Amino acid sequence: MRSWPAPEISPLPGAGLPLRLYDTAAGEVRGTTPETTARMYVCGITPYDATHLGHANTYLAFDLVNRVWRDAGHRVHYTQNATDVDDPLLERAQRDGVDWRELAEEQIELFRTDMEALRLVPPDDYVGVTEVIGQVAELIERLKDKGATYEVDGDVYFAVAASPKFGAVSGFSEATMLELFAERGGDPGRPGKRHPLDWLLWRAERPGEPSWPSPFGQGRPGWHVECTSIALACLGAGFDVSGGGSDLIFPHHEMGASEGHVATGEWPFAKAYVHAGMVALDGEKMSKSRGNLVFVSRLRAAHDPMAIRLALLARHYRADWEWTDEQLTGAEDRLSRWRAAVALPGGPDGAAVLRQVRERLADDLDAPGALTVIDAWAGRALEGDHSDPGAPALVRATADALLGVAL
């Protein structure tokens, strides 16, 4: 699938610092160690109710990863999927009496428009799972050849007992796993399964559901295996970052890592598992099932997308936090202050701003800290410190390249 047009990225003098990120599997902040080309897989949307602020918050975190790696001299190979066939999408299409393919297409287009407006760097590979059904079936075949699968009434399951590394990503107890698995699309109680945590790889055709041919009959892929297949095909095992919101830690990323490991024999499947916190509204996580959503497209109708971006950047990417309209007005004030300051003939030392913003972002994406650095510079510039005539241009370029904020 087409992704979206890339924003300009201003060149900056010198180079950034090595990026350190909190790795869920390690349970601590660790230095990323990408090669010349850094490789990142970020789970994409299930295309309905796009693009809400929770989505935007998560993709923005990985946009910062992309920008910091580029500033440190790496090329970035960025892959993102779209889950354009899955139970929740079919249910929503059914509820609204629309064709599921049309719903997916329209929502993916809205997502692209929102991502472009917020100036996120687009993925190099933007892959709808319906584009790669055959490839996914091949991966399932590989897992079958490894003896890691079995069938229940025509549906193909991954046997958790076949994965020596199961649990290495989340570190959760079995009780927590069972609870989350049931909450997030799993079927722990299904009769005929060998273990409650075994998960669906291939769902045999049901009446009225879309299906595709495969070596194991008409059907469609399970959720986790699509991402494993696309990441392996585009990036190869051992890629640098597997990203998503914290609600993907389990079952999605845990099960995908097991699939990748058993299929390739390589570990880790991803060198770092990086998760963004949950954005809430009125005390509840913003989610389609709850319907308490704030849409980027609606905010864009009345607000500068750069203010929306600044409002999101004001929170640490791993924090769970509550959206309020006041945060947007605060971001609009900050945006106009920054724009006024970079329009001045000079300001305090610009090189210090670049150095400090680089330090903040390299330290597990401390964007709030980076915003504070530019706030301080803008404040002193607006009070009349114009000692460095080159500073306004350098601060503008820093905000653009590292934070994605166009002043």
Ligand X SMILES: Nc1ncnc2c1ncn2[C@@H]1O[C@H](COS(=O)(=O)NC(=O)[C@@H](N)CS)[C@@H](O)[C@H]1O
Burial class (CB in 10 A: 0-12, 13-18, 19+), 385: middle
Q: Return the range that interacts with Zn ion (CB under 5 A); candidates 108-116, 117-125, 224-232, 310-318.
A: 224-232
83 near ligand X (CB under 6 A): yes
**Cβ neighbours of residue 203 closer than 8 Å, sequence gap 6 or more:** 155, 209, 219, 220, 221, 222
Kindly state the smallest distance separating residue 260's Cβ from Zn ion, in Å. 12
Q: Which residues contact 337 (CB under 8 A, 6 or more apart)?
A: 375, 378, 379, 382
Looking only at residues 21 through 60 of this chain, which bind ligand X when binding is defined by CB under 6 A? Answer: 43-46, 54-55, 57-58
What is the C-alpha separation between 190 and 198, in angstroms, rounded?
10
Least gap, CB of 242 to Zn ion (angstroms):
9
58 known ligand binder: yes
To the question of whether residue 249 is assigned a binding role by annotation, the answer is no
Is residue 246 a known part of a binding site?
yes
For the bound state, the minimum distance from the C-beta of residue 110 to ligand X, rounded and expressed in Å, comes to 12
How would you list the strands of the sheet with 270-276, edge to edge? 125-128, 75-82, 37-42, 239-245, 270-276
**Using rule CB under 6 A, residue 296 touches ligand X:** no
Q: How far is the CB of 245 from ligand X (least distance, A)?
A: 2
What span, in angstroms and rounded, lies between the C-alpha atoms of 322 and 227?
29
Q: Is 279 in the site for ligand X (CB under 6 A)?
A: yes
**Which region, judged by CB under 5 A, interacts with Zn ion, from 4-12, 39-47, 118-126, 311-319?**
39-47
Is residue 43 a contact residue for Zn ion (CB under 5 A)?
A: yes
Q: Which partner in Zn ion, ligand X, none is near 245 (CB below 5 to 8 A by kind)?
A: ligand X
Q: Indicate which of Zn ion, ligand X, none lies near residue 278 (CB less than 5 to 8 Å, by partner kind).
A: ligand X
234 annotated among ligand-binding-site residues: no
Is 54 annotated among the ligand-binding residues? no
Nearer to ligand X, 55 or 271 (CB): 55
Phi, psi of 114 (to 5 degrees): -65, -40
146 vs 298 by CB, closer to ligand X: 298
Q: Does 130 bind ligand X (CB under 6 A)?
A: no
CB burial string 199-225: b at 16+ within 10 A, e below:
bbbbbbeeeeeeebebebeebbbbbbb
Estimate to the nearest angstrom the gap between the alpha carbon of 206 and the chain centroid.
Answer: 31
Radius of gyration of the chain (CA): 22
Torsion 202-205-211-214 (CA) sign: positive
| H helical segments located in 156-314 | 174-183, 223-234, 254-264, 296-302, 305-313
Minimum distance from residue 203 beta carbon to ligand X (Å): 16
Residue 267 C-beta: closest distance to Zn ion, Å: 19
Output 81 or 149, the one with its CB closest to Zn ion: 81
* Three-state secondary structure call for residue 70: helix
Contact 311, 330 (CB under 8 A): yes
- 227 is an interface residue for Zn ion by CB under 5 A: yes
Q: Stretches 55-63, 104-112, 116-124, 226-234: which one binds Zn ion (CB under 5 A)?
A: 226-234
Q: Please, what's the b/e burial string for 176-188 (b: 16 or more CB within 10 A of its CB; e: otherwise)?
A: ebbebbeeebbbe
Residue 286 binds what, of ligand X, Zn ion, none (CB under 5 to 8 Å, by partner type)? ligand X
How crowded is residue 373: how many other Cβ atoms within 10 Å of its Cβ? 21
Q: 51 labelled as ligand-binding?
A: no
Using CB under 6 A, list all residues that contact ligand X. 43-46, 54-55, 57-58, 81, 83, 227, 244-245, 247-248, 276, 278-279, 285-287
Q: Give the annotated binding-site residues for Zn(2+).
A: 43, 227, 252
Q: Give the annotated binding-site residues for L-cysteinyl-5'-AMP.
A: 43-46, 58, 81-83, 223, 245-247, 279
Using CB under 5 A, list all residues that contact Zn ion. 43, 227
